[in-house]
Structure 1
Amino acid sequence: MAASTYHSHNRSVIRRARAGDLLEFNRGWYSHWAVYIGNEEVVHLGGIDNDGINGTLKSNHVFTICGKTFNKAVVKKENFWKVVFDSKVEINNTKDKKCRPKPAHEIVREALSKLGEIGYNVLWNNCEHFAAFCRYGVNWSEQANKALTGIAAVGATVVVGGIIRELCKGRKEKTRKHLDF
């Protein structure tokens, strides 16, 4: 979709946004998150070399190896319109239902205190974790939780499939031995 498609919608959202609100930028197959600090500015964990912010992910910038994070993302303050690209943005404070948000000035102070911090891990330290931590004091990414749940489900399926295969294999061998008599 072209940027002009959502411009009117995004202009309406940014007019309603208040300091400390979390903004979710729908990038299609994932969402980018930022903390709104006022004056059409956001603080967010964004990719170095624009990696990932516009939906163009480089495979070597998505994962960590053995939990080691690499210097490929940084917390930065930017103009909202530089971050939005052709995304549709929404104010998303739905985690307020489960977590108590800090006062707005504390959220903004927390976000600004992280400027320049480097590090990224798609499952443990992504832009949604960062935004949630600033607002609630809790690292929480529903996107990462869904991915981990999917990974666990696939892993469990593989394990159960392997167990069933081994059980069936054992039965066939037992049946063959029984028929050989």
Structure 2
Amino acid sequence: MGNQVEKLTHLNYNELPTADPNGFDPEDDAPRIGVSYIFSADDDEQEENMDETENEDVKHYDCRNELECAVYYRDEVIYERNSRFGEVGTLSRENLANKCKAGDLVEFVAIGQFPHWAVCVGELQVVHLHRNEIKCDFLLDASQGKRGRIVNELYKFRALSSDAVVQNAMEQVGLKERDVCWKNSECFAAWCRFGKREFKVGGEIRIGKQPYKMKLQLSEKKSHVLDFQSLEDLIVEKRKNDQMGREAVIQELENHLNCAEEPGDDYNCN
């Protein structure tokens, strides 16, 4: 069993069974699972002490290297990051602090790092999951020198009131290690804002066909679709792509998968 776990934690795209790129269901005996593996918390890879001044990777973060993707639950779009979102760009941590309000979700980004999410709770403070602990910090400290943006609109779920979001976040402050039931900072922040158990570890039963699809838009005419049994597994894979960047993900897919060009009509789950 130990050897199996070790292998599963290091899977990459060439070992990953996927869905048909045009969105059609394969035969019942064909592999369908996207990612249901065992992962370490990706936010553990955040830098512990980043210089107060922005480093080169932070200053030159390019939103154009973000991979466009959409997430579907059965027939419904529940998450979408498209080119229009990338055009908004990022803000310095000082400008971000001046713009965000209590209840907002913020995302800190830097080249080659997992994005770090936090919940604004007012008075320039945020609550976030960092190194397996729920902390309340000043936004400038939580950013660790990274640029950031408000990401309230990425998930399409109906948000709770700002007071409820802040209450959700503040009630978790101080939780550590085994008491933490979110796999990464994004799952925690999204749970605070939307209150959906799907963001928690084990929040969904992984049986039957995979109800989640993540469509990666590689170009105007090329896309690739992965199937997942749970939202938490999908988010882990999505964040891996965020950390790698668009060019690296596309290169890996081109090397290991047969990404067929789509027919005239784009994949549509409406």
Specify if TM > 0.5.
yes
Identical positions, percent: 27
1:10 aligns with 2:93: yes
Aligned partner letter, 1:3: E
Which is worse superposed, 32-41 or 85-94?
85-94
1:26 aligns with 2:109: yes
> Do the aligned partners of residues 147 and 11 (structure 1) sit closer, same or farther apart at CA in structure 2, a change above 3 Å counting?
closer
Q: TM-score, normalised by structure 2?
A: 0.40
Q: Which residue of 1 aligns with 2:236?
A: 144
Could you tell me whether the CA contact under 8 Å between 1:119 and 1:125 is conserved in 2? no
Could you tell me whether the CA contact under 8 Å between 2:92 and 2:146 is conserved in 1? no
Question: 1:12 offset after TM fit, Å?
Answer: 1.8
Could you tell me whether the CA contact under 8 Å between 1:25 and 1:84 is conserved in 2? yes
Q: Which residue of 1 aligns with 2:176?
A: 118
Which residues of 2 match residues 20-169 of structure 1 at below 5 A? Answer: 20-29=103-112, 30-47=114-131, 73-96=132-155, 98-119=156-177, 125-138=183-196, 139=199, 143-146=235-238
Question: 1:18 offset after TM fit, Å?
Answer: 0.7
> Do the aligned partners of residues 145 and 15 (structure 1) sit closer, same or farther apart at CA in structure 2, a change above 3 Å counting?
same
Aligned partner letter, 2:157: C
Q: Which consecutive aligned stretches of 4+ in structure 1 deviate over 2 angstroms post-superposition?
A: 1-6, 140-143, 145-150
Question: 1:95 offset after TM fit, Å?
Answer: 3.1
Number of residue-to-residue matches in the alignment = 125
Choose 1 or 2 for highest CA Rg: 1
Question: 1:9 offset after TM fit, Å?
Answer: 2.7
Structure 1 regions of 5+ residues with no counterpart? 48-72, 159-181
Alignment RMSD:
3.3
Q: TM-score, normalised by structure 1?
A: 0.58
Question: 1:146 offset after TM fit, Å?
Answer: 2.2
Structure 2 regions of 5+ residues with no counterpart? 1-50, 60-90, 200-230, 242-248, 258-270
Query: C-alpha deviations, 1:37-86, integer Å up to 9, x for none?
Result: 11110000011xxxxxxxxxxxxxxxxxxxxxxxxx11010111111122
